[in-house]
Structure 1
Amino acid sequence: MTTTVETILERALSGQDLQQDEGVWLLKQTSPEAIAQIRTAADQLRQQLVGDTVTYVVNRNINFTNICEQHCSFCAFRRDQGEAGAFWLAVDQILEKAADAVDRGATEICMQGGLNPNATINGASLPYYVKLVESIKHQLPGLHLHAFSPQEVQFIARQDGLTYAEVIAALREAGVGSMPGTAAEVLDDQVRRVLCPEKIDSATWLEIVSTAHQLGVPTTSTMLSGHIETPEQQIGHLERLRSLQQHSLHQEYPAQITEFILLPFVGQEAPKPLQRRVRRDQPVLKDALLLMAVARLYLGRWISNHQPSWVKLGLAGATEALRWGCNDIGGTLMEEHITTMAGAQGGTCMTVEQLQAAIASLGRPHQQRDTLYSKVDIGYQPVH
């Protein structure tokens, strides 16, 4: 490839879509000068597309069960029914957590869990999930439910013999406002056969997210990085996300991807076989920062909002990512179990004041947002 880093960056900043080989070329740069150029370009593109204001959401994360039928090679969260550490929250417990979150200023509940075959009503899965959503919305009608990944949608559909569209439409009608774009890991089936052989394949993940968009349910998008995947596979993942977003927009679907979130791999408590292959317990910050910058450049104008994970990188690492193309610092979460059980050191909760101080340390303004990136004017009212 004869092109230069400068040429690729100029193309990205002029609004052109990068080619896959150009994205790989950027990811393989090792000189400090080239990496500094990539960082600067990603930051410039961020400023062009979304300005200097850094957003955050006041939310609570509820992992309602860790009982799961699958055995992903990176997961330290899952348990079998009856195993030590297994849990499954009752609806009343979930309602209590949701109400407490609203009392603390939350506008969103992010709710995901393991694939629990016993989570049924009269032997069917969908009625259980619908009842859970309806119970929350009945008690807290103004709360946005960001709930149930494409993997969970496939699980419900498979359990009950339904189409993906039937499941998504029922959850939407019950009160789900948006779908987390998790379970994507890396959208490369060679990687998935090692990481998560029981999970849905790449095509199914893309189909479910596209169906959600068609039915008016916005989604996020994610990538689990820094394990066994190659730069080529990382860019292939970004290409699939970009193509999916382009399709949703060109088809004029009523919803699209709202954000991209990089989730660097935390391996401290991962099952031993994957630990031995990856040979690191915590993410490598410099690798994550470069990938976030290239993701900003590659996804371009198609996905405007980019978010690091303070749970995985720590608040200092996530704050640094705001200089590498990210414009959102995520949510307060209030509690987090999946990554923490994997050995993450970033913590499980951030206060609004902590997030605002981190943003202010860069000399940039902050703004509370809702799940779909609309400005929240009411401000944060801490409960004393």
Structure 2
Amino acid sequence: MLDTVDAILSRALNNHDLTPEEGVVLLTARSPDAIAQIRRTADVLRQQQVGDTVTYVINRNINFTNICEQHCSFCAFRRDEGEDGAYWLDLEQILQKATDAAQRGATEICMQGGLNPKAKRNGTSLAYYVRIIEAIPQAFPDLHLHAFSPQEVQFIAREDGLRYADVIVALRDAGVGSLPGTAAEVLDDDVRRVLCPEKIDTATWLEILRTAHQQGMPTTSTMLSGHIETPMQQMRHLQHLRSLQQSALERGDRGITEFILLPFVGQEAPKPLRRRVGRDQPVLTDALLLTAVARIFLGRWIPNHQPSWVKLGLAGAIEALSWGCNDIGGTLMEEHITTMAGAQGGTCMEVETLQGAIATLGRPYQQRDTLYQPVRSPEVQAA
């Protein structure tokens, strides 16, 4: 087994794209020596592809409503209208949060929410979304708006009878600068039929991201891992992302700016899925191995990789920086979706806390914007 792992890693270090089957071999490695070699290879590729500097972004999450028509089996965030804990922020509340973010030095607002059929203005869904977006750049023209998942794009298009491109162009023209590649979960329809049967299928998710790229809208990409999916399903997910990015780059589009692994947190998830998964918190060793394999498989095409300190805790996220990640994510300022699922990583991170944690690795850190451009000159080398 170790010889096979060695051969696969040698191919990766020689700039060859691995097959999903080779990725499965790495994901199912069990010997400590093989896992150590996978980690070292991911770390070497990270250094070659993006260097040693660890980046971070000062941002704020705004989850504007948790009222949602869908019933995903892993979600503890959604509520029905009128249910205890249901909320729906009005425009004034959204602007208050944006004001607070700007005053605290944020360069990005990340906005997503539940699929609320009553979220309409003048009878249309798109008009509502445009309204809550355009008010922010009017007040804060320097804030980058990273907003609305492919699922939300499909929801707006369905409600108003529009093409995906129509929705994306309208959001872009209203001020959205990039699209979160969330609602991906695992891009395998057998998994999606269990996790999120009401959500868009794999082909639609990919179509919406492709359309965004074609309209000049960069996106991120994610994977919700560590629940019912198999190693091959994980690798097929990564293959979908790699193929999507290769096509974007061939067209001259920016495409996908980063890959974020989101390990499953099930503490407050509905009981049927909790029983099936059999645990409430992520398994760090599994998340780190998948982090490394994702760098090896995607890194030449999607060079920026980010762990989730909300899901893994800050210590786990810092550990992931030695398994192929180069970015520690954002300050968030508030976070509801994962926290309501029972995550223990917190909802807000101060810049100084992120910097101090990175400094324990002896690597430099750098504030960046949403599109990975440096915001200031490089910080001093960590001691």
Taking structure 2 as the reference length, the TM-score comes to: 0.98
Report how far residue 13 of structure 1 moved. Answer: 1.1
Could you tell me how far apart the structure 2 residues matched to 1:334 and 1:370 are?
Answer: 16
Where has structure 1 moved over 3 Å in runs of 4 or more? none
Q: Report the secondary structure of 1:349's partner residue.
A: coil
Query: Per-residue displacement from partner, 1:48-105 (whole Å, max 9, x unpaired)?
Result: 0000000000000000000000000000000001110000000000000001011001
Q: Report the secondary structure of 2:21's partner residue.
A: helix
Could you tell me how far apart the structure 2 residues matched to 1:291 and 1:67 are?
Answer: 32
Gaps of 5+ in 1: none
* Residues 76 and 268 in structure 2, CA contact (< 8 A), matched pair in contact too: yes
Could you tell me how far apart the structure 1 residues matched to 2:280 and 2:299 are?
Answer: 31
What's the counterpart of residue 233 of structure 1? 233
Q: Report the secondary structure of 2:374's partner residue.
A: coil
* Residues 181 and 220 in structure 1, CA contact (< 8 A), matched pair in contact too: yes
The answer to whether residue 324 in structure 2 is matched with residue 358 in structure 1 is no
Could you tell me how far apart the structure 2 residues matched to 1:251 and 1:2 are?
Answer: 39
Report how far residue 125 of structure 1 moved. Answer: 0.1
Could you tell me how far apart the structure 1 residues matched to 2:67 and 2:97 are?
Answer: 19
Could you tell me how far apart the structure 2 residues matched to 1:321 and 1:111 are?
Answer: 26
The one-letter code matched in structure 2 to 1:10 is S
Report how far residue 379 of structure 1 moved. Answer: 9.0
What's the counterpart of residue 77 of structure 1? 77
What's the counterpart of residue 13 of structure 2? 13
Could you tell me how far apart the structure 2 residues matched to 1:246 and 1:24 are?
Answer: 21
Could you tell me how far apart the structure 2 residues matched to 1:190 and 1:181 are?
Answer: 20
Report how far residue 20 of structure 1 moved. Answer: 1.0
The one-letter code matched in structure 1 to 2:160 is D
What's the counterpart of residue 158 of structure 2? 158
Could you tell me how far apart the structure 1 residues matched to 2:31 and 2:185 are?
Answer: 28
Could you tell me how far apart the structure 2 residues matched to 1:65 and 1:3 are?
Answer: 51
Report how far residue 252 of structure 1 moved. Answer: 2.0
The one-letter code matched in structure 1 to 2:373 is S
What's the counterpart of residue 257 of structure 1? 256
The one-letter code matched in structure 2 to 1:84 is D
* Residues 17 and 297 in structure 2, CA contact (< 8 A), matched pair in contact too: yes
Matches within 5 A, 1:9-88: 9-88=9-88
Could you tell me how far apart the structure 2 residues matched to 1:200 and 1:260 are?
Answer: 20
Query: Per-residue displacement from partner, 1:187-221 (whole Å, max 9, x unpaired)?
Result: 00000000000000000000000000000000000
Could you tell me how far apart the structure 2 residues matched to 1:307 and 1:83 are?
Answer: 35
What's the counterpart of residue 272 of structure 1? 271
What's the counterpart of residue 224 of structure 1? 224
What's the counterpart of residue 194 of structure 1? 194
* Residues 2 and 34 in structure 2, CA contact (< 8 A), matched pair in contact too: no
What's the counterpart of residue 302 of structure 2? 303
Report how far residue 14 of structure 1 moved. Answer: 1.2
What's the counterpart of residue 284 of structure 2? 285
The number of aligned residues is 379
Could you tell me how far apart the structure 2 residues matched to 1:262 and 1:176 are?
Answer: 23
Gaps of 5+ in 2: none
Report how far residue 250 of structure 1 moved. Answer: 1.1
* Residues 12 and 300 in structure 1, CA contact (< 8 A), matched pair in contact too: no
What's the counterpart of residue 129 of structure 1? 129
Q: Report the secondary structure of 1:235's partner residue.
A: helix
Q: Percent of counterpart pairs with the same letter? A: 76
What's the counterpart of residue 330 of structure 2? 331
Q: Report the secondary structure of 1:292's partner residue.
A: helix
Report how far residue 300 of structure 1 moved. Answer: 2.8
The one-letter code matched in structure 1 to 2:302 is I
* Residues 17 and 300 in structure 1, CA contact (< 8 A), matched pair in contact too: no
* Residues 69 and 115 in structure 2, CA contact (< 8 A), matched pair in contact too: yes
Taking structure 1 as the reference length, the TM-score comes to: 0.97
Q: CA RMSD in A?
A: 1.2
